[in-house]
Amino acid sequence: MSESGAEVMARFVGAENVERGREYLEQLDPELHRYILDFVYGEVYAGDVLDAKTRALCTVAMLATLGQQLQLGVYVQAARRQGANEGEIREVLRQVAVYAGFPSAWNALATMKAALERFDEAEEADR
Amino acid sequence: MSESGAEVMARFVGAENVERGREYLEQLDPELHRYILDFVYGEVYAGDVLDAKTRALCTVAMLATLGQQLQLGVYVQAARRQGANEGEIREVLRQVAVYAGFPSAWNALATMKAALERFDEAEEADR
Amino acid sequence: MSESGAEVMARFVGAENVERGREYLEQLDPELHRYILDFVYGEVYAGDVLDAKTRALCTVAMLATLGQQLQLGVYVQAARRQGANEGEIREVLRQVAVYAGFPSAWNALATMKAALERFDEAEEADR
Amino acid sequence: MSESGAEVMARFVGAENVERGREYLEQLDPELHRYILDFVYGEVYAGDVLDAKTRALCTVAMLATLGQQLQLGVYVQAARRQGANEGEIREVLRQVAVYAGFPSAWNALATMKAALERFDEAEEADR
Amino acid sequence: MSESGAEVMARFVGAENVERGREYLEQLDPELHRYILDFVYGEVYAGDVLDAKTRALCTVAMLATLGQQLQLGVYVQAARRQGANEGEIREVLRQVAVYAGFPSAWNALATMKAALERFDEAEEADR
Amino acid sequence: MSESGAEVMARFVGAENVERGREYLEQLDPELHRYILDFVYGEVYAGDVLDAKTRALCTVAMLATLGQQLQLGVYVQAARRQGANEGEIREVLRQVAVYAGFPSAWNALATMKAALERFDEAEEADR
């Protein structure tokens, strides 16, 4: 595998967030940070059998199901970065209502809305 | 929406399973059966913004996260029916280890294996 | 079924909250809003076999079990609106300790307390 | 509180099941058995502010939400013993689809069906 | 059992927190307060077969798995009070990543960090 | 880290189970098998800050909380292998009742009982 964990992570969450994540995670727990780079991104996300957009949308589905709002916001943005449009993300979150219930779908849509607003502002600022 | 709920359901789980499901669900609870046809398939799954293969893989991700093995087996087969290959389904289930833990991923891979064997046998018999 | 989803919803959450919910949900996701009116209230809650007070208390039990505090606050008020008194709601939430653990019961009681204070203030203001 | 935990338990699960439970739980863990008699039934279920039928239906709602099928079967029968009819139990389980997802509702209805068949057979045998 | 529930509770969460807890819980729900003193601490935590440090670390593991951040903060401090050092608590929380997923471990480490800072400040102030 | 993942795994689940696990996991998913050896045991469990007995008991607590019965049976035996006696495991599982509810504790105690019987039979056969 020629791509490093940090490079795979950057493809999903953006290079600037890898850097911010480094600072945050190093002071939180350097071991967890290493696991995320080496195992999560260096192994699990590094596979190329599944395309990156589908991968990101499946992660959105799982995080919404688990009610993990913080990481959900990050992966809604990752899905956009991989080419998913807002309509596709919405369809995934409506499906959450069927499997994990309406409150989970509702909360996830609120998280998605805020995350996309921040994403669009950052895109705007970059131009 | 021109396609009926039963038609959308057939695209995902196969026409023969809509028929079998009808018998089973009618004696279990006719109201739940109606909700599944009219709401789950007639509304949520009927949207065409998200492609059917991604939809099925997101459902696989959610059901594995929730540990719902029975429905997971059905949706592993639905994912294959929509063009996902075994390698792609495996990648999704390895991602489950990251978000919902290793036991959930392990159990889901066992369910996937059994479901794909039944799927291949049925394909074989159809030829 | 002669009563519309919006009318059933109003019986449970109050007419003013149907109106507020409309604005909030329309900008969050118009499809989810439609599902809530047509499926959740137009179908599931519309049945009259189970009395409305028991229905609301069962929803309180489920939301406390799931840790969905936002919706729990709404349904604690719905239970009061359907004639449940504070003592009855407390008994349900103590039962949550047995099935979903003490932290879930504790968190739910805190949500209940805040929701009932807002409910009583609104009642007061209406007089 | 003049009624003992075992008496409260008998009102919900039937005197014969208190006896069977005693044997099973004593060899499983005598401490857990004592907690169930003294705390669960001697305290939580002993309150008389909430009527027993509503209590049992709320427990049905929670156990279905948690996917605890074994205990759900016992409480479906407890709900019947307290005067809930099959239609009321079904309404509660359909509501589970809204808050905990369709797979949870589906599994719970299957458990309910089997539990009610055993309940009716036992009633029949008692005549 | 000669030690009262309040005394066992004080060993785990500190005498000053028993006092603060009393005020908070009495206004939240006096019954729940009594259950916590008599059942949780008077019975479950009162056993002396398992040492108090292991007990506290197991509770940390469970609360992190359940995502109950409020109570997790209290038990991270309880673990320190029983002689667990920061390194041991970190090891437990890294194990959470394996069984309940990385977001649960991440959130728990953030809660741990804040709880240990408050704990050290209080220790400092006591000197 | 001088000890390999397979060696750490053997310390917890027994050398014979590493071998059996190899066959099972290789046909289930070779990647997941590699993650378990390299990440779970080669990294997370390899740390020596926390003693092995406490580690195993914390895993028992987490698996009981999650209702993962299959892996719980394996870790009840791992806890015994690391020097925990039956009484200590029971205390952990009674604590599960407080945080994850009585049904989870009950189910876990049943799994523990069966796992300890198999463990004792194997010990007997080895003599």
**Cα separations in angstroms, F49 against C102, E84, E91, F40:** 31, 11, 7, 16
CB atoms within 10 A of CB E105: 26
Residues in F whose CB is inside 8 Å of some CB of A read 31, 35, 39, 43-44, 47
pLDDT tens for each residue of E78-107: 999 999 999 999 999 999 999 999 999 999
Average pLDDT (B76-81) is 97
User: Which residues in chain F are contacts of E66 at CB distance < 8 A?
Assistant: 65, 99-100
- Alpha-carbon span B73 to E64, nearest angstrom: 30
B84 pLDDT more than 60:
yes
The answer to whether F62 contacts E87, with C-beta atoms less than 8 Å apart, is no
Rounded distance, CA C82 to CA E13, Å?
40
Q: Tell me the average pLDDT across B103-123.
A: 96
**Angle at the Cα of E105 from the Cα atoms of E104 and E108, rounded to 5 degrees:** 85
> How far apart are the C-alpha atoms of D5 and D2, rounded to whole Å?
10
DSSP assignment letter at B46: T
**Closest residue in E to F95 (Cα–Cα):** E44
CB contact under 8 Å between A32 and E67, yes or no, is: no
ipTM beyond cut 0.90: yes
User: How high is the pLDDT of residue F66?
Assistant: 98
Summary mean pLDDT of chain B? 95
Say how far residue E53 (Cα) sits from the centre of its chain: 10
Contact E82, E53 (CB under 8 A): yes
- Measure the CA–CA gap between D56 and D79, rounded to whole angstroms: 5
Distance CA E40, CA E47 (A): 11
Q: Tell me: the pLDDT tens digits for A80-120?
A: 999 999 999 999 999 999 999 999 999 999 999 999 999 99
Who has greater pLDDT, A61 or C2?
Answer: A61
| C-beta separation of B69 from B112 below 8 A | no
- pTM for the whole thing? 0.97
Which residues in chain D have Cβ-Cβ distances shorter than 8 Å to B68?
103-104, 107
Q: Could you tell me the maximum CA-CA distance found in chain D, to the nearest angstrom? A: 42
Alpha helices in chain F (DSSP H): 5-13, 15-28, 30-35, 52-66, 69-81, 86-100, 102-126
Interface test with A, best of D65, D94, D99 (most A CBs within 10 A): D99
Q: Which residues contact D7 (CB under 8 A, 6 or more apart)?
A: none
Q: Convert the pLDDT of each residue in C99-116 to its tens digit.
A: 999 999 999 999 999 999
Contact call for D31 and F94, based on CB within 8 A: yes
* Chain A interface, best mutation among F32, F36, F39, F50, by max A CB count within 10 A: F39
pLDDT tens digits for D45-87? 998 999 999 999 999 999 999 999 999 999 999 999 999 999 9
To the nearest whole Å, the CA of F21 is away from the closest chain D CA by 28
